[in-house]
């Protein structure tokens, strides 16, 4: 069936080539060049279908639906208009990057280091020496890799200014320290402008509930203003 359709299409192209001056008109039309390239690639794919070196040529078959563009004038007009608007879309992309950069810089200034904050214990029993070890922001780095096994930190986000750790952990993790790794294996972060830009882009997908909740726990309950301002500003580009 494929060979039969290809034969008919080849015959159609041959007729067009005979009816039009090859160098004067046929190859000057981009749509005719597209048709010609599809036919040539399809013919090559028939003869080298079993050869590994040219196996990639068969992938050109995915372009066959594009033949409809050359036969339906309305589709050709739509595609032509879209291609002509690409330079203007580039200007919009630059403006979008500017908006993302603005909110990225604002995020770094407001939330840098905030997502490191967790509730910690005041100390733990060393499993080797059985001695009590105080946990502070200066000494916990020595045991941060063992924090899960030693249970010296919790998953409760906090801020130093309130007593949330005392209330939410019933005194088990009473102190708030900004030394825990960032969530999502460190990918959700405002520590640098690059991570902040990535986070601003992710928030354009409306995935803001979790991050906004974390920032409210570690910074301020008014963090939603930043999140919704970002969404409204980028709504013009989506």
pLDDT digits (tens, 9 = 90+) for 153-198: 778 888 877 778 877 777 778 888 888 888 888 889 999 999 999 9
Structural domain harbouring 133: 118-186
**Is the domain of 101 the same as that of 216?**
yes
Residues 102 and 218 in one domain: yes
pTM of the prediction?
0.62
One domain, residues 173 and 125: yes
Domain edge (last residue) among 186, 202, 220: 186
In whole angstroms, how far apart are CA 76 and each of 30, 31, 39, 64, 210?
A: 11, 9, 19, 15, 45
Do 8 and 47 fall within a single domain? yes
Residues 123 and 107 in one domain: no
- Do 147 and 32 belong to one domain? no
Task: List Cβ neighbours of 233 (8 Å cut-off, separation of 6 or more).
Answer: 99, 103
Task: Let me know whether 40 and 144 are in one domain.
Answer: no
Q: Are residues 19 and 109 both part of a single domain?
A: no
Per-residue pLDDT reduced to its tens digit, 102-151: 999 999 999 998 998 888 887 766 667 767 667 666 666 565 555 545 56
Q: Could you tell me if 94 and 209 lie in one domain?
A: yes
**Same domain assignment for residues 95 and 205:** yes
**Helix H segments across the chain?**
2-19, 30-47, 67-71, 73-84, 86-111, 147-150, 164-168, 193-203, 209-218, 223-234
40 and 63 in a single domain? The answer is: yes
Number of structural domains found in the chain: 3
């Amino acid at each position: 069936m494929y060979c039969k359709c290809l034969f008919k299409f080849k015959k159609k192209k041959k007729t067009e080539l005979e009816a039009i001056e090859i160098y004067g008109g046929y190859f000057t039309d981009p749509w005719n060049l597209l048709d010609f390239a599809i036919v040539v690639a399809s013919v090559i794919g028939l003869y080298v279908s079993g050869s590994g070196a040219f196996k990639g040529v068969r992938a050109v078959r995915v372009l066959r639906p594009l033949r409809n563009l050359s036969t339906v004038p309305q589709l050709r007009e739509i595609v032509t208009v879209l291609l002509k608007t690409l330079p203007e879309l580039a200007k919009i992309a630059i403006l979008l990057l500017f908006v993302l950069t603005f909110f990225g810089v604002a995020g770094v200034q407001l939330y840098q280091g905030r997502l490191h904050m967790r509730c910690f214990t005041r100390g733990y029993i060393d499993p080797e020496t059985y001695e009590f070890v105080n946990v502070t922001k200066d000494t916990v780095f020595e045991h941060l890799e063992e924090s899960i096994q030693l249970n010296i930190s919790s998953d409760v986000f906090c801020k130093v200014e309130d007593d949330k750790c005392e209330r939410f952990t019933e005194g088990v993790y009473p102190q708030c320290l900004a030394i825990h790794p960032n969530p999502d294996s460190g990918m959700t972060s405002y520590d640098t402008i690059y991570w902040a830009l990535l986070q601003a882009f992710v928030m354009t997908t409306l995935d803001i509930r979790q991050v906004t909740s974390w920032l409210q726990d570690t910074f301020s309950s008014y963090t939603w203003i930043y999140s919704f301002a970002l969404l409204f500003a980028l709504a013009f580009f989506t």
